[in-house]
Amino acid sequence: MVEVLKRLAEARGVTGNENEVRDIILELARPLADECYVDRIGNVIAKKKGSKGGRKVMIAAHMDEIGFIISRISDNGMLRFLPVGGIDQRILVSKRVLVGKDRVPGVIGVKAIHLQEPDERRKVINQKQMYIDIGARSREEAEKVVKIGDYASFDSDFVCFGDNKVKSKALDDRAGCSILLELLKDTYECDLYACFTVQEEIGLRGAEVAAYHIEPDLGLVVEGTTCADLPDVPDHLHTTRMGKGPAISFMDNSSIANKDLFKRMVKTAEDNSIPYQIKENVAGGNDAGRIQTSRSGVPTVVVSVPCRYIHSPSSVMDLDDFKNTHLLIQKFLKGVEA
């Protein structure tokens, strides 16, 4: 699982440009599924027929990651850019990025602190004041390797460190994608539709299309979610805690968990002695928001892997949480009757 996670996390897949991630998932999912295809919006849907069939379970994780798109090339060769997805502007300065299909290396820059006015130094620098420096001396030189509309992603390696921790970009939600691939190796009574969705970060668009097409009887979303268990953050704002197991959501800004599914997920964890926690904050949203409201409605539940520093080039995750999330969902699916 960890090897697959590393491969997926290091692949580039900014929202709307998930091709590289999709190709890896197709390669790995096709041998495991009875049917595997790409729909019109770009989702990968892998169907695993149940031993008894009938009931359709949609399990979703999104392929896309936050990043940038080039909006203008300046006369001096610097690239102006726009964020794709929710990004904290405080983390951007001096970060390394890769631009376009040729992975042109660049650095996000801004006016040096020595040249800033005193009031500028006290404020968060706005993304509109930043640029990507690819080492070009002119617009013409830059246009040889980059064009307007090219995507840029964080340049970040997957690293194992500390006490069973990993750091990487895009753990939200390549962690979920890795778990879905592992789940496809098993068999269940129900028909399983593993959906690797696109464009979650800008409005849950892929999940809406997939759910409309599949018409599932229930939906399960696997996410990477906020973990803020840091020294200067009050306990009630931790949301989740690293090392305490998968986080089961009762509600967020996009959906409310089906009460029966929520209780069954908790009971599954307790019956199988799997550590778990309840997500304590309702901030954020995920694909469940669109699955839940598809057609005449779909009961949904969300299980997430806690990730520190989410939506950054250096998110951190505990591998035990990652593996226990897979185990919990596997046991839950085994209990879903046809």
User: Could you tell me if 189 and 336 are in contact, meaning their C-beta atoms sit under 8 angstroms apart?
Assistant: yes
Query: How far out from the chain centre does Cα 209 lie?
Result: 18
In the chain, the amino acid numbered 321 is D
Closest by alpha carbon to 95, among 318, 317, 311? 311
In the chain, the amino acid numbered 244 is K
Q: Which of 18, 65, 200, 223 is catalytic?
A: 200
In sequence order, the β-bridge partners of residue 233 are: none
User: Could you tell me if 156 and 6 are in contact, meaning their C-beta atoms sit under 8 angstroms apart?
Assistant: no
User: Could you tell me if 167 and 161 are in contact, meaning their C-beta atoms sit under 8 angstroms apart?
Assistant: yes
Q: Is 200 a catalytic residue?
A: yes
For residue 5, what is the enclosing H or E element? helix 2-10
Strands (E), the chain: 35-38, 44-48, 56-62, 67-73, 79-84, 96-99, 104-109, 131-133, 151-154, 159-161, 165-168, 191-197, 218-226, 247-249, 277-278, 300-308, 315-318
Joined together, the tokens standing for residue 176 give 């979920």
Closest by alpha carbon to 166, among 300, 281, 289, 306? 306
Give one DSSP letter per residue of 242-279, joined into a string.
TTS-PEEESB-SS-B--HHHHHHHHHHHHHTT---EE-
In the chain, the amino acid numbered 35 is E
CA distance 248 to 268: 11
**Residues designated as active site:** 200
